[in-house]
A = this chain, B = another copy of it.
Amino acid sequence: MSNISICDVAKHAGVSIATVSHVINNTRSVKEETRNLVLNSIQELNYSPNTAARSFKTGKRNLIAFIVPDISNPFFATLIEEVEMVIAKEALHLLVVNTKETKEREITNLRFLANGGVDGFLLASTFDNYAEMEDVIPKHIPVVLVDRRPAGAPYDSVIVANYQAVYSSVEYLIRKGHTRIGYITGLPRITTTAERLEAYQDAMEANNLSTEGFIRTGTSMSALVSENLDILLAQDCSALIVSNNMMAIQAMMLLDQRGIRVPQDIELIGYMDSAQPQYGTQYMSLIRQPVVDMGRTAGQRLIERLKNQDIPLRETLLRADFIPVH
């Protein structure tokens, strides 16, 4: 460690530690001459303030934690990137916690980081209910919910309204003559999953179409079990809605292997949920997530909340849009 402390600098410059501190932080006026003396000593001793001590004293860590369920999902990777860019401008750093969709990892990390670990949380929670996590998060620490909103959580939130876009996508398929439209969901407990599924069900019902046997439950992280796909194919589905992008791409690959062409043989509705181009999505109709906007807005919200705890809660709803295939 650099065992050089503010005391060493003060001694070397022949001033008090208060003066050194004030020079460093620009926190009260110091005579030009004295300031230079101090700056010289700092340079000469190659001193730089111990951030741990400073954090301890001030209670500010200049650190934000972003708790995400899956870093390797391009959706969250993009979110992370955008958030990082926003908060970096405020000299804040980003701690990334990957829960891998496990509640226990989320709880452990929240608890550990809440007390002096970070200044605030961005949280894409794997919980669907605030009650389950309430005890763990101290009341005083700013939290902004991103993408997912556990019921009853008293926090700012930035989420995407998918209902309309999903509904539109179903209507689009129906207009094109599809009646047997399959649906593969994300993880059931996740708050976004329900809304998307509901839109599908409502749209089908509004058009007097059955969903009987057309709904399969997937995950939001990894593999779409090809089993789900096969079951829907066996049901003679002529169109498929896949509730998140990692699964949609996986579906493309599986259909490929089976010699089924998209969109000629079967229509696919997927998600466009990162800023990165994804090969394969050009054959699908897409529900585009405003992921860049969401990341920026969420970062901004947290910064505002950090500066002022007393502003009223804000729930930001960003719209997804439906993009028919080319």
Min CB distance A253 to B, Å, is 6
Query: Which of A91-99, A121-129, A154-162, A314-322 lines the interface with chain B?
Result: A91-99
Q: Is A36 an interface residue (CB 8 A)?
A: no
With contact pairs A72-B77, A139-B1 given, residues A52 and B116 touching in the complex (Cβ less than 8 Å): yes
When chains A and B are docked, how far (Å) is the Cα of A109 from the Cα of B88?
A: 10
Please give, as numbers and ranges, the residues of chain B lying within 8 Å of A81 by CB-CB distance.
70-72, 98
- For this chain, the copies found in one complex come to 2
Is there an interface contact between B72 and A116, defined as CB atoms closer than 8 Å? no
Q: Is the CB of B2 within 8 A of A48?
A: no
B59 touches A84 (CB 8 A): no
Size class of the A contact interface (CB-based, 8 Å): 35 or more
> Are B72's CB and A74's CB within 8 A?
yes
A282 within 8 A of B: yes
Does any Cβ of B come within 8 Å of A249's Cβ?
yes
Residues of B near A280 (CB, < 8 A) are 279-280
Q: Does A111 have its Cβ within 8 Å of any Cβ on chain B?
A: yes
Q: Distance (Å) between the CB of A281 and the closest chain B CB?
A: 8
Query: Any chain B CB within 8 A of the CB of A246?
Result: yes
Chain B positions within 8 Å of A141 at CB level = 2
Contact A114 B276 (CB under 8 A): no
Asked whether, in the complex, the Cβ of B96 is within 8 Å of the Cβ of A138, the reply is: no
Residue-by-residue, is A240-260 near B (CB-CB < 8 Å gives 1, otherwise 0)? 000000100110110010000
